Amino acid sequence: MRSTAVLSCALFLVACGGSETPATDTAATAAPAPAAAAPLSLADLNGTWTQTVRPENSDSVLVTATIVAKTDNTGWTITLPGRPPMPVRVSVSGDSLMTATGPYESVLRKGVQVTTNAVLRRQPDGKLTGFTIAHYQGAKADSVVRLRTELTKAP
């Protein structure tokens, strides 16, 4: 009986111990993290931009506008088709440009007031792309629409 207990303990120790391989240091072998995007500067954006706005799930252009950007966050304007220029509120955080416009009468929904907020990031080709959230207010229930936005700098 004693030999059976000793043999059982020995088998238990062999089964539980033994052939583990030491953990490797994955930090030393992992690929380096991609470089962070360069911070955006309002001075870099100075000039005239063409803005196209599309539905989130389509390539059809809904609205084309002109944005005039300044070297600081004052004096930015957007001109929608057949409309006078309107002020655009802008700010920069890291690699992102945030814009806010309105309220104004929507180009897409006649007689409805809209306020827009966008977050755009510079792409390697120099364009700014991102999403615009349009907040519509009218006689019917308020609604929110997410739109794809692209800005291309005029030569």
Supply angle C-alpha 141, 145, 146, rounded to 5: 160
Question: What pLDDT does 73 receive?
Answer: 92
CA distance 127 to 17: 59
Q: Look at residue 11 and tell me if it is in a domain.
A: no
pLDDT in tens, the chain (155 residues): 444 444 344 434 344 455 555 555 555 556 666 666 678 999 999 999 999 999 999 999 999 999 999 999 999 999 999 999 999 999 999 999 999 999 999 999 888 999 999 999 999 999 999 999 999 997 566 799 999 999 999 98
Q: What is the CATH number of the domain that holds 78?
A: 2.40.128.120
Question: What pLDDT does 10 receive?
Answer: 42
Q: Look at residue 20 and tell me if it is in a domain.
A: no
Q: Look at residue 12 and tell me if it is in a domain.
A: no
Q: Look at residue 149 and tell me if it is in a domain.
A: yes
| b/e burial code for range 95-107 (CB count within 10 A of at least 16 → b) | ebbebebbeeebb
Count of the separate structural domains present in the chain: 1
Question: What pLDDT does 12 receive?
Answer: 41
Q: Look at residue 4 and tell me if it is in a domain.
A: no
Q: Look at residue 125 and tell me if it is in a domain.
A: yes
Q: Look at residue 1 and tell me if it is in a domain.
A: no
Q: Look at residue 13 and tell me if it is in a domain.
A: no
Q: Write out the E strands in the chain.
A: 47-55, 63-69, 77-79, 86-87, 89-93, 96-105, 113-122, 128-137, 143-153
Domain that holds residue 49: 42-153
CA distance 151 to 135: 20
